[in-house]
Amino acid sequence: MDIDMPFSKAPVDHTNGKRRRTSTHSEESQLLSTLEALSDVPRWQTVSEKAFNGIVSIRFYVPASFDGDSPLCSEATGFIVDAKRGIILTNRHVVGPGPFVGEAIMHDHEEISARAVYRDPIHDFGFLQFDPSQVKYMKIEEIRLAPENARVGIDIRVIGNDAGEKLSILNGSISRVDRNAPGYGQITYNDFNTFYLQAASSLSGGSSGSPVIDINGDAVALQAGGRCEEATNFFLPLDRVKRALELIQNGKPVPRGTIQAEFIYETFDEIRRTGLPEDIEAMVRNVYPEGIGMLLATTVLPEGPSSTAGIETGDVLLRINGEIVTHFVLFEKCIDDNVGGSLSIQVVRNNKVIDLTVAVQDMHALTPSQYVVYGSSVVHNFAYQMAYSCNLPVRGVFVADPTELLQGIRKAAGVMLEKIDGKSVSNINDFVCVMQTIPDHSQISIEYFTIDNVHQKKAVTMYVEHQWQKMRVYTRNDVTGYWDCKRITEFAKALSPTPVKVRFPIMDNDNAGKAAKVSHSIVKVHNMMPVSVEGYTRSPRDGYGVIVDANKGLVVVDQYTVPTSICELTIIIASSCTIPAKLKFLHPTHNFAIIQYDPALIGESDLCEIEFSPTPLKPGDPTHMITQSSYGDLLCINTVITSTVPIRIGRSPYPRWRGINDEVMILDSPKANDYYFGVLADDEGRAQALWTTYNAIEDKKAVRAAMSIQAIKPALELLRRDEEPRLRSLNIEVSVISIAKAISAGLSPKRVEELQQIKSSRNVMLRINSVESLSKASGVLEDLDIIVSINGKPVRTIADLDVQYSHDMLDIVVLRQKKELTLQVETTECDRNTNKMVFWAGAALQAPYKAVLQQSRKVPSGVCFASIAKGSPANMYGLQSAFWITHVSGKATPDLDTFERVVGECPDNTYISVKGMSFEMVPVVLNVKMCYHYWPTTSLSRDPSSKSGWQSKIVCDPDGASNMLD
């Protein structure tokens, strides 16, 4: 673990810059030391070679957020300390306090599964275990622990998996043995109440858990961390490690006690300033003549034993049970030997000796051994480790991953729950019980605070949808190495909805005029995004929409808010009424979707649908933009249309839907860009255009522009007649080029004359940028074709392409290679629906969707990745989004059904060979090891007969757990 630490002070030069003469005796001593060091070279070589067979590379992943750590895949080092039992010593930040899945790779590259058997509650060490009988081709060596050999000045070798290399050997010398534990930052793991060793040795990622070996081949310390900017590393001493190992070898528990206080080692000159009497200092120095300091209390946790007993920050520890204690080894021995009992402690405070009796708690009991997964959120009891970092009481419920619970709060960190739906939650049992009482489809309030700002309470509204937000409880099992899973299936049923009376606030803006009535049509839209699909991650999306048919309950919203067909929607009317909605239509190229709510759920109200303006907007026209602020205030921005331009949004490296083949309007007012959604209305209050947000390569760089209201009419009219919109499309992407460029490409003078006779604001034509793979136009139309006419009508603007929506066949004249070609092109029925997904090894897979087909010249398979979860097998073994799978275990997988059947035959904890193609069409072969316990194989299929519209199925899930679908 690399850390950033402040620079230490430079050493003082007492020679005033003058060179001092070295005596002949010193030169002889230096020569003898050099010769002795040279003679040790063969010995070091022998020691290192013997250690190789006892050092392993650890490849692992963490499947769930826990205690401040996020899901991840990584590698580290460990070394065998018991060859008979297969026990490996490594760091706690490798084993982790939460679930761990890993394997040990021996020196001869034999790969053996390893499970976590112990992790210390606070110190940076833990043990893994493997089956020694599985190592077939080499003799296992164990490395003896010798903490007593760690001394200042000894030469050491750190042998491990440094910087991702299988084996690296770095040398150094121990410079300190009494350094306080390094700090790694807030809301993360930090060690305390122990000394650390320090050495000048440059190490990096992957070296965590390496043995620090002396010339006898014994481990004197454990590599733990270092400074990123300096060649300085920190090693954990092995006193408590050796004790823990001996207890585990004897089949006994490892007692770990705490008084909930942190101490650091301070030198006598610092301790003296806190009020240490001179006679006490003299007594301590006499008992420990080599000591240079004492232990000083720096953190006393509220409500803990030390706080209750009266220990205060700044107290100097003097005695425990009558024995003078100035070092951490004796300090911890006293506490660990008295778990459940009490200690008589003497501290020095302001020149006075104070006697106290302090209870000793079981530290393991303060470290969570359970966690709850709710949807994609993870909660567990607040851990001692985290409480220490933030100086908070060890109680309450900590949200390790807040995505699902704190809907709309994307960057909340260090969240502590206080109340859910008005009920207090003090532990995860309370959390489970409260969540079970909440009816389906209900809206609740969650009260919380963040540990970096304990003074401010916050609240967020959550919409409960048990179809997607399944709950499971995981309990640590050190016998199997897994966290056993229990599904929670009993929840309160949905309540019968009752109509709600709705009144919109009054728009306080005289400049709006009659356009103010549009404000009674604008609603807020919340999309829960229940799964990661089509390049979008599972996270809430909020936006606005406008009611276009009050009788049918039809609302138009942009595709920034509703980008995919798998969605869970609610609308909030007049900031007072929340009701469910469902998706009815996604346009293939224009930036809008149409959703529907049940009008029967609305009681007496003053909401209204918008009235369409018969006159399209053009540059120079004035308009009124009606919108809402983030606080719900109704606003009017009087502005002017400055220009009409083709929308241009770059392609994402992870394909997802983007608006194409559309002309949008730019507004004169820069204030408009502060708002995600709005309605442009004329003086009579009739809607002319919608101000919408377009998905860009990154959400934070979203594009905002106005789209003509006329674009929604074809689909809207069909829905009003209770018909499903079935638009057709050429499935091409076009760009605008000047007529001059078309002439250079071979456009004839006759065509130029025809085009110039058409009244238009621009002398432009349309050129095909790409033709969608698998479309009926593919192989007929080609990239860089210039469209001359469609069905005999010259094409000058993007609006001229609208004829495609209602025709099965089109006669298209294109200019290609300086020749005009007349082509008959069949259109394809538009279908943005995702009908099936398979969740396998932490990857979400689906059939090639529109954004992929738009960006791909070839489609090598009917199975492609939509997303990869962090801390999953797919993540660990190198699979990536926008990756095609063509074969599994040598069997072709041309579609999702075949893929589901083939992977369903694969045993758990075995490697599966995956053959595929990268998005750049580079062949790839990877081997992925299954772990159905945390990452089962499941599928999700569209099912109109189901209440939610979806049906889930477990394909491979021996333990009943699921991280992806649920």
Region of residue 535 (phi > 0: left; psi between -120 and 50: alpha; otherwise: beta) = left
Helices 239-249, 328-336: crossing angle, 10 deg rounding: 30
Q: Which of 57, 65, 82, 93 is catalytic?
A: 93
Q: Which of 67, 69, 82, 124 is catalytic?
A: 124
Q: Which two tokens stand for residue 228?
A: 């990123």
Of 829, 850, 867, which residue is a domain's last? 829
d(CA 817, CA 316): 88
CATH number of the domain that 609 lies in?
Answer: 2.40.10.120
10 domain residue, yes or no: no
Q: Do 347 and 226 belong to one domain?
A: no
Question: Could you give the C-alpha distances from 18 to 11, 13, 25, 26, 124, in angstroms and in order?
Answer: 16, 10, 21, 18, 45
Q: Determine the pLDDT at residue 77.
A: 94
Q: Do 748 and 775 belong to one domain?
A: yes
Q: Determine the pLDDT at residue 584.
A: 95
Q: Do 479 and 615 belong to one domain?
A: no
Residue burial 182-200, b: 16+ Cβ < 10 Å; e: rest: bebeeebbbbbbbbbbbbe
Q: Which helix (H) or strand (E) holds 891?
A: strand 891-892
26 domain residue, yes or no: no
Q: Do 233 and 138 belong to one domain?
A: yes
Q: Do 514 and 646 belong to one domain?
A: yes
Q: Do 840 and 824 belong to one domain?
A: no
d(CA 430, CA 439): 16
Of 689, 720, 751, which residue is a domain's last? 720
35 domain residue, yes or no: no
Q: Do 733 and 712 belong to one domain?
A: no
Q: Partners of 793 in the beta sheet?
A: 790
Q: Which helix (H) or strand (E) holds 358?
A: strand 352-359
Q: Do 244 and 317 belong to one domain?
A: no
d(CA 853, CA 189): 44
d(CA 616, CA 686): 11
Maximum C-alpha span of the chain: 110
Q: Do 736 and 806 belong to one domain?
A: yes
d(CA 535, CA 880): 12
In 55-183, which ranges are continuous DSSP H helix? 92-95
Give the 3-state secondary structure of 739-805.
HHHHHHCCCCHHHHHHHHCCCCCCCEEEEEEEECCCCCCECCECCCCEEEEECCEECCCHHHHHHHH
| Cβ atoms of residues 544 and 525 within 8 Å | yes
Q: How many CB atoms lie within 10 A of CB 85?
A: 17
Q: How many domains does the chain have?
A: 6
CATH number of the domain that 822 lies in?
Answer: 2.30.42.10
Residue listed under structure tokens 């205690």: 67
> Is 441 in the active site?
no
CA-wise closest residue to 699 among 459, 411, 465: 411
d(CA 681, CA 516): 9
CA-wise closest residue to 880 among 904, 844, 847: 844
d(CA 92, CA 367): 13
d(CA 472, CA 431): 12
Q: Which helix (H) or strand (E) holds 282?
A: helix 278-287
| Cβ atoms of residues 41 and 47 within 8 Å | no
Q: How many CB atoms lie within 10 A of CB 714?
A: 14
Q: Determine the pLDDT at residue 205.
A: 52
CA-wise closest residue to 211 among 1, 52, 45, 93: 52
223 domain residue, yes or no: yes
942 domain residue, yes or no: yes
Q: Do 815 and 920 belong to one domain?
A: no
d(CA 52, CA 771): 57
CA-wise closest residue to 620 among 637, 645, 643: 643
Q: What is the extent of the structural domain holding 620?
A: 500-720
Strand 786-790 to strand 809-816: parallel, antiparallel, or no bridges (unpaired)? antiparallel
| Cβ atoms of residues 578 and 572 within 8 Å | yes
9 domain residue, yes or no: no
Helix, strand or coil, per DSSP, at residue 853: helix
388 domain residue, yes or no: yes
Identify the segments of the chain with pLDDT beneath 50: 1-24, 32, 35, 960-966
16 domain residue, yes or no: no
Residues with Cβ within 8 Å of residue 673, at least 6 apart in sequence: 704
> Is 344 in the active site?
no
Q: Which two tokens stand for residue 859?
A: 């489609």
Q: Which of 65, 207, 389, 867 is catalytic?
A: 207
Q: Which two tokens stand for residue 953?
A: 């199925």
Q: Do 537 and 655 belong to one domain?
A: yes
d(CA 660, CA 652): 13
Of 829, 856, 878, which residue is a domain's last? 829
Q: Do 787 and 844 belong to one domain?
A: no
Strand 622-628 to strand 678-681: parallel, antiparallel, or no bridges (unpaired)? antiparallel
> Is 897 in the active site?
no
Helix, strand or coil, per DSSP, at residue 588: coil
Q: Which two tokens stand for residue 264?
A: 């650091």
Helix, strand or coil, per DSSP, at residue 454: strand
